[in-house]
Structure formats: C-alpha cells, structure tokens
A and B are shown apart, each in its own frame.
Chain A
Amino acid sequence: MTAIQPSLRDYEGVAPPGSVDLLRRLADRVRGRSMLHVNSTRVGGGVVEMLERYIPLLSELGLEPRWEVLNGSDEFFHVTKSFHNALQGQERDFTDEMLRAYVETNRANASRLDLDADAVFIHDPQPAALIEFAPRRGMWIWRCHIDMSRPQREAWNFLRRYVTQYDAAVFSLPKYAQRLPLPQFLIHPSIDPLADKNRELSDGEVVDVLARLVVPRDKPILVQVSRFDRFKDPVGVIEAYRLAKRSDDCRLVLAGGGADDDPEGAAVLADVREAARGDSDIHVLVLPPTAKHEINALQHAAAIIIQKSTREGFGLTVTEGMWKGKPVIGGAAGGIAVQIVDGVTGYTVNSVEGCAFRISYLLRNPDAARRVGQNAREHVRENFLITRDLSEHVALIISLLR
C-alpha cells in the first residue's frame, strides 16, 4: 500500500530520542562494507519481513547490502521443515536420502549464488550448509531465528558440523545458545514501526478492512495472527475462546497464511477449520503474504491479541500487537517470556485455561487492559524496534571486522 519507503529521518519521531543518531554514527564506522543476507524464501514469515526492511535502511546507512534466496525442490523444503521441527524439539526421523537432498541443494546453490561479501548472514537451518561449498572471504554469521532450547540431538548433530565452520552465531535468546567453538551473540528480533503492518491507521481504514473481510465489530474481537503451524496452537486458541465465551461474549479471528518453505500449513489449516465449524463468531482468514495492511487493521480492531505459541523463536506478532497498544496474551514460550513482562506489559499463559482466564479478565477490566497496552507500546519502543536491531547488527559487524 505504501508507495514511498520511509527513510531514517522518519524514525526519529518514533524511536527513542537519540537512537537514530546513534545508529548513524555506528554505521559510519563500516560505511562501504558489503553485507549479504541469505534465507530460503522471499515470501511469508518473519525473516522475510525483517529483510524487506533491513535492506533499504542499511543502504541508506552507507553499507552495501544484498539479499539472496535459496532455490529448492519440494523435497528439500519437506526436509528443512522436518529440521525446523526437530530443532524446536519434535522427534523426527531423517533418512540418508533426506540428508543428501539437503546437502546437494546447498551445494547447488553455493555454485549459483554470489556469496561474496564482507559480512555474510545465513538465516536459519535451510542454507546453513552453504558455508561448506562457498568460497570464503568475509565473516560468516549464522543467524538462527528458531527456538533451539531443546533440539533433537540427531538433527542438531548433523547441522552442527556446518555451524561450527562459521565465525559467529546469533540467537534470539540466551537459552538457545549451544556448545559451540565460536562466539554466540544475543540479538532480539524487531519490528518496523513504519511498515504497512505497523503504521498508524485511521478509524476509516480499519472499518474498511473489517468490512471487506466480513468481520463485524458488534462485540470485542480476539485476534491471533500467525502461520497455521501446530507450534502456534491455533486449535488451543479456539478452545480458550470457547471457555471464555461462556461468560464473556466475543469474536475470534485467526488470521494467517503460508510460507513457501512451510508444507505442513495446509494440514494444520484443515484442523483449524474443523475445530471452528458451526461457530459464526470464529473467522478463519487465510491471507496472502502481501496482506500487511489487513493484518494491521485486524490488530488495530482487536480488543485483545493472542499468541498462544507452545514453541516460539521470538514471536514478532506479539511485538506487533504490543506496539499497537493492545493487551497481548502470549504462551510462556521462547521469546514471548522476554517481550511480555507478565502483568505489566501483557500476560503469559501456560494452558488453554490460563488463556481463557486472561481473556475474561481483560474483557471485564478495560482500565487494566488499557494500562497494560500503554506499557506494552513503550516496552517495544525501547527494546524491539528495528533501529535498535540494526544498531546491534552494525555493532556486531564492527566487532567481528576489528
């Protein structure tokens, strides 16, 4: 929707005072350095959203950033989805054929892609093995966005042989760090407050979008925005909504889409539709990855935002909801426990029942909901905006290139 990309100057009125100036002064030290980001899709998911915003801002800061995407077959993405799930703790079996498909896809991409840069950021497990086959000049950094607190050993042992070749790794939380012979840095992911998904909207814009999506505003709306993924527990959200609705009338919107590298999404979506069947107050919306304005409007319209994940690398939808000044109920998993200071900037829950209790509590206590929402917005401003994230990445490059 937004035709003009925001410039750094636009962030000065949004980010904490002085933080944009600090970013500029840091970036001056690495002006002209080349920086490459590699991930596995250009469509859908938090990493894509992050890179879409990083690249123009890094350019404006005087660096020379590029973004390359791995090519892979359906078989490759089935294998990497299994890796993803196994690294987040699920038991998965890997055959030699699967591992070969993973390695060969990385080998082919290493030949195809231009991987030369002063700092090469490889995002997540899918392209991690590129390092084995690529010519090395600059510093290589493995940026892991997923919950690695309890990885399945077989999957991690396989991946570890590649990760140990990197110069550094970056994780989203301390508990994701592994025993590795390389420096491991902590950088919390961020949101862009000026992106279509997060910018301020007028009431008219919100009304228009909800009318188009056929979501009435006659009762409080609960919103969970996320991929249809079992770790996001969308069926658990429906159960919590049903428990709360016994005494507090409300609607539930489950909005999400798929990503190119997520072949399990269709099966989860079918389960969600089955669980929602027969209840006209539940709206299951499958939105394309371009529907950022729609997501923004849904979050603006929400009385409460839910992210009831059972595993979560960080949970950018939590940050998005908090930035809109909404009370957020999050599963006590991964980064959500860092984003939400329980009872101060939101609520964390451990069960369907806990989620239902907090829904009812917030619906019945609008003053508490408002206070928590205001705290949430300031907490995000200080800790989880893209200006801080970029500063830490630039500081990391400064530190590694010293």
Chain B
Amino acid sequence: MTAPFEFVACLQLREMLGRTAWDERELLTGIEHVPADSIYYHTHSSFLRSRYPSAPYPNDFATWVATQVRDPVLGERLAVVDPFMFDDLELLRNAMLAILDDHLQAEEPAPRVGAVGRAGEPFHFMQSTIIEVPTGVRARTLGEFADALHHVDVSVIFYHMFRPVMNSGTVSDPAQWLERELGLPALAGRVRLLNPYARDPEGLRSDLLSLVEEAREREA
C-alpha cells in the first residue's frame, strides 16, 4: 500500500544571538563560533522573507559585506557559494571561513563606509527555530500531489524543498516519496536536480508543478 505524502507547513521563529560583527575579521570570528543554526539562518532563510528582495544576495553574509563593508569582491565570492550543495552545515561553515580567510590574507580589510558617509550597520548574528505544522493535507497519487501543490501555503514549499540538509532521505523529501512510493525514479531524479538557490519559493513551486504535470501527461 502506498504511504501518503504529508504536506508540512512551517514557521520560522527568529532569535537574535546578541553578537555583532563590525568588519570582515569579526565576521570570520563570528562564523567560527556561532551555532550551526545561525549558519543555516543566514544562508537559507532569506527565501522565507519576502518576494521583494531588499538585499542583493540570498546570503546574509554576502549581502552585508557588499552593502555595509562595501567590499563587493568578497560579497560576490561569498554569494556564489550554493548552500544547497552542502549536506552538512559544518562543511558550509568551513567553506565560508575559507573564503573569508583567503580574502583577508590577500587583501587589507576594506574601509567600512555607509550609504551617507557614516559607518555602515554592523552584522547581527541570528538563528531560527523552524516550527513544523502538519497541514493535514495528504497525497497518495501524483494527481493528488499536484492538486495539493497548487494551494498549500508557501512555507510548505520552503519546508519540503529548501531544507535538504534536514529533510534529505526522510519522509519529508518529495523526491524520495516519488521514487519509493509511486515508483517514479525518473521524476524523482528531475526533482532532485531542482536547485532552490537564487530561486524564490513560488518559482520553485511552479518548477515542481511543471515537472509533475509533464509526468502526469506521460502517464496518461
């Protein structure tokens, strides 16, 4: 019997750590010491904030370096790191540290100047707790899966597609469900190739729906 896919929404409770960085060296020290949840928050959760991005990059470290420290090169180097390529937050932390360390070895820290000639804003380290909220919506077929995808809260998309570090290989992983329960390895493979980085949840919802609809047409 096919186990249903259970759609889970989520809410992000945001917590300030009371730790700030005023330049690249303090950012490096902070990244070394903050909890892994803080690394996750600053590299993954911009997707839950707004459809009107107020920041140039979906990576808070990169945005702060680019806009407040005014070190665009370092900002770009941090931004290009795709957090979804890492299945361990400690590896992602190390990747960020390596870029910062390498940059600081090679260059003098940039003088920090804000938008109106004053010192820029410091970086505030935060973390978040993701509170899972089962929606009660279940799918047993590809058709039910597609119908549900159309109307679930956008946080459902975030929960299932933007949290691979937490969800990979679990019942929350839609690719695994498609493969194991519906016997659709090709579709599962294509879903696994969807990359959430630099994509907003609504865009990803639409990408996922397109793949599912194509598979349904082939099934028909």
Give A contacts to B, CB under 8 Å. Answer: 16-19, 21-22, 25-26, 171, 174-175, 177-180, 183-187, 338, 341-342, 344-345, 350, 375, 378-379, 382-383, 391-392, 395-396, 398-399
Give the nearest-CB partner of A20 in chain B. Answer: B153
Bound together, the chains give a CA A18 to CA B15 distance in angstroms of: 24
> How far apart are the CA atoms of A186 and B52 in the complex, in Å?
20
Contact segment of B6-14, B26-34, B75-83: B6-14
Partner of A341, one of B11, B54, B122, B124: B54
In the bound complex, what is the Cα–Cα distance between A177 and B16 (angstroms)?
A: 7
> Is the CB of B210 closer than 8 A to any CB of chain A?
no
Q: List 19 A-B contacts (CB under 8 A).
A: A16-B153, A17-B151, A17-B153, A18-B151, A22-B135, A25-B9, A25-B133, A174-B124, A175-B121, A175-B124, A177-B17, A186-B126, A338-B54, A375-B52, A379-B50, A391-B11, A395-B11, A395-B13, A399-B13
A396 and B13 within 8 A (CB): yes
Residues of B30-55 contacting chain A, CB below 8 A: 49-54
Given contacts A174-B126, A175-B124, A186-B126, contact A22 B116 (CB under 8 A): no
Question: Per-residue 0/1 for B115-133: is the Cβ within 8 Å of any A Cβ (1 yes, 0 no)?
Answer: 0100001101010010101
Interface of B toward A, CB cutoff 8 Å:
9, 11, 13-18, 49-54, 116, 121-122, 124, 126, 129, 131, 133-136, 151-156
Min Cβ gap A239→B in Å is 19
Q: How far is the CA of A19 from the CA of B10 in the complex (A)?
A: 10
**Interface contact B154-A16, CB-CB below 8 Å:** yes
- Closest 5 CB pairs between A and B? A18-B153, A177-B16, A174-B124, A186-B14, A341-B54
Give B14 Cβ to nearest chain A Cβ, in Å: 4
Q: Return B206 CB to nearest CB of chain A, in Å.
A: 15
Given the known inter-chain contacts A177-B16, A341-B52, A378-B51, please indicate yes or no for A399 contacting B129, CB distance below 8 A: yes
Cross-chain pair count, CB within 8 angstroms: 87
Residues B18 and A177 in contact, CB atoms below 8 Å apart: yes
Q: Which residues of A contact B14 (CB under 8 A)?
A: 185-187
Name the residue among B17, B18, B136 with the largest chain A CB count within 10 angstroms.
Answer: B18
User: Which residue of B has the minimal Cβ distance to A398?
Assistant: B131
Verify A186–B151 contact, CB threshold 8 A. Answer: no
CB nearest to B126 among chain A residues: A174
Contact B16 A186 (CB under 8 A): yes
Question: In whole angstroms, what is the CA distance A379 to B50 when docked?
Answer: 7
B18 contacts A184, CB within 8 Å?
A: yes
Say whether B16 contacts A26, CB under 8 Å.
no
From A21, A180, A383, A395, contact of B50 by CB (8 A): A383
Contacts of A21 in B (CB 8 A): 135, 153
Which residues from A are CB-within-8-Å of B9?
A: 18, 22, 25
Complex CA–CA separation, A391 to B12 (angstroms)? 10
The docked-state distance in angstroms from the alpha carbon of A16 to that of B50 is 12
CB-nearest residue of chain B relative to A168?
B15
CA distance A174 to B20 in the complex (A): 10
Q: Is the CB of A383 within 8 A of B49?
A: yes
Which chain A residue shows the least CB distance to B156? A18
**Interface core residue of A26, A174, A185, A391 (most chain B CB under 10 Å):** A174
**B22 → A minimal CB distance (Å):** 13
CB of B193, distance to nearest CB on chain A (Å):
27
Query: Which residue from B116, B135, B152 sits with its C-beta under 8 Å from A25?
Result: B135
Q: How far is the CB of A56 from chain B (nearest CB, A)?
A: 22
Closest-CB distance, A314 to chain B (whole angstroms): 15
| A184 to B124 Cα, complex, angstroms | 12
A399 to B131, CA, bound (A): 8
Contacts A16-B154, A399-B13; A22 near B52 (Cβ below 8 A): no
Pick the residue among B51, B116, B129 that contacts A350 (CB under 8 A).
B116
A23, chain B: closest CB distance, angstroms:
9
